[in-house]
Amino acid sequence: MNANSETGLEYALRGKAWKVYWYLLKNGNPAGVREVQRALHFSSPSIAFHHLEQLRELGLVEKQEIDGHYLLVGQVKIGVLRHYVKLGKLLFPRYFFYALFSTLFYVFYLVLMVNSLTRDNLFIIIFGVIVCGIFWYEAYRVWGMRPF
């Protein structure tokens, strides 16, 4: 995807269309107009239909012929989605994994390796707290950027 089409897609995917896309990405299953309307608390099904059709025109969803449900067929990494990893139906900020990994190894080090409070150990303890704190802060910050 080149820069112009990515910018155009970011422009098209904003507001309620972004929420519909996020819902379909997170849900992972085909969704009908009324299901999207109820899940996102839209005032009418026509709003959900409009945004689903907008996503279909962008080539991100496909309308199933049999039941009329919309299925996500294209995933894009634009905006805040660049910072997320999808595992099954769950979306996690990638900083969550960095924070978890660094915290586990930090605790492992504290439990198994620190026998006394030397100058070297004190440096590693302070450095570990700072690194883990930064990763957890970033994970929390990116988590707060999701559409709902």
- pLDDT of the residue at 102: 96
- How many other C-beta atoms are found inside a 10 Å radius of the C-beta of residue 108? 10
pLDDT of residue 101: 96
Query: What was the pLDDT predicted at 15?
Result: 82
CA dihedral of 50, 52, 54, 57, whole degrees rounded to 10: -130
- State the pTM of this model: 0.66
Q: Residue 25 corresponds to which tokens in the numbers above?
A: 């990405």
pLDDT at 132: 97
Residue numbers of the chain with a pLDDT score lower than 70: 1-7, 11, 78-79, 147-148
Domain boundaries, the chain: 3-72, 80-143
| Residue-level pLDDT at 147 | 67
| Size of the chain in residues | 148
CATH number of 3-72: 1.10.10.10
> What is the longest distance spanned by two Cα atoms in the chain?
70
**Cα-based distances in Å from 69 to 46, 51, 101, 113, 141:** 14, 13, 39, 56, 34
What is the reported pLDDT for 12? 72
